[in-house]
Amino acid sequence: MADSVKNRSTVLIPVVAALVLAGLWLNILPGSGSDAKTLIVYCAHDRIFAEQVLDDFSRETGIRVQVRYDTEATKSLGLINLIIQERSQPRCDVFWNNELLGMVELKQQGLLERYQGQSWQRMPERYRDADGYWVGFAARMRVYIVNTHQASATEEALGTLLSFEPSRVAMAKPLFGTTLTHYTVLWHLWGGDRLKAWHRDLRLRGIREVDGNAAVKDVVAQETCYAGMTDTDDVFVAIDDGLPVEMLPVRVTSDLTERRPSDAANAAPFSTICIPNTVGIIKGTKRQEAAQLLADYLASAKAEIALAKSKSRQIPLGLIDAKELPEDVKQLVEWSQDGIDLRLLLSARRDCLEWLKTEYLK
């Protein structure tokens, strides 16, 4: 009898395990949550930074969250296209985007629900949709990452590298994410012809193009390149790993001249590129109340402080107590005050993206 029980157990354990795993797999599939206490969230922000915030929301509210994350190389653009493709049968309830202009695109296509909740109320005007269809929070900035073993972390040294040694500089392919936003800003300020000429000149002279901002951080930290264009959160990953890197803000102007230290007194025409996360509720959600709670939570002071204290060092955009901020984030807050207003750049984004497709998707 004991052997018989043992044999049956030997057979049953793998079967039970398989059923449990199958159940878990079904639970993480987008669209598999059906009850009012489960939200389907598409998230373009890095999982390593976003997961804890969403877990905290679930713990505090009892609302279950199923998340579909994006890949690094197609960051944000992939999920935006997916939401557009699913417009007739939306699966997503809430979209946590890691930039702003993609959310403006979804609003223009009529794919977002209007909600002017607590989160919308606490944000400065330039970081929220005037009609209440989305709200920004917890920003990153476009910065230069510099390997201090190879170059000086000064604007003058960076200008020299871009002018004379672009093969020592790295950037992500600008079809996606915050690099697309960076190019969109340049298209807006310079015009398409000047941006195209600048871009093609850098490529001809060997600028290192990689798949995503994290890869930019890697090639600079490993001294394959001396400097690169990336985001603040990626630089902090390298800093926390004890690697010899520093950062400087990317400063842009309608003129193509590079900013030099001697220009400090005339810095007003220069802007930084401060890119907020954004949250929007997808039109047609059947979980409206839960979706509103998550939108308010993500753009709350509590969530912004948590993201500022996380390894990503996100920049709070709403009013908070400065004493709550880490010292390295306070510097970013100062830089972000010069951030360009991105809300009206959708047309530039569309035109820029169409051109970039001809450059990279031949």
pTM for the model stands at 0.84
> What pLDDT, on a 0 to 100 scale, did the predictor assign at position 72?
58
Q: What is the mean pLDDT of residues 293-304?
A: 97
pLDDT in tens, 172-194: 999 988 999 999 999 999 999 99
* CATH T-level assignment (fold) for domain 140-272+349-360: D-Maltodextrin-Binding Protein; domain 2 (3.40.190)
Distance of alpha carbon 281 from alpha carbon 301, whole angstroms: 19
User: What 3-state class would DSSP assign to 193?
Assistant: helix
pLDDT at position 176 is: 86
Structural domain boundaries of the chain?
2-137+276-330, 140-272+349-360
Give the mean pLDDT of 235-252.
Answer: 97
Q: What is the pLDDT of residues 54-83, one digit of tens each?
A: 999 999 999 999 999 987 556 557 899 999
Q: What kind of fold does domain 2-137+276-330 have according to CATH? A: D-Maltodextrin-Binding Protein; domain 2 (3.40.190)
| Domain pair 2-137+276-330 / 140-272+349-360, same fold | yes
Q: Is pLDDT above 60 for 4?
A: no
- Band (pLDDT 50/70/90 cuts) for residue 25 is very low
Half-sphere exposure of 84 (CA within 13 A, CB side): 14
Question: Span 215-219, mean pLDDT?
Answer: 98
pLDDT(19) > 80: no
Q: Give 138: exposed, middle or buried? Use CB within 10 Å, 0-12, 13-18, 19+.
A: buried
Residues 259-277: tens digit of each pLDDT: 443 344 444 479 999 999 9
Q: C-alpha distances in angstroms, 302 versus 115, 119, 293, 296, 299?
A: 20, 11, 14, 10, 8
Burial of 3 (0-12, 13-18, 19+ CB in 10 A): exposed
How confident is the model over 94-129, as pLDDT tens digits?
A: 999 999 999 999 999 999 999 999 999 999 999 999
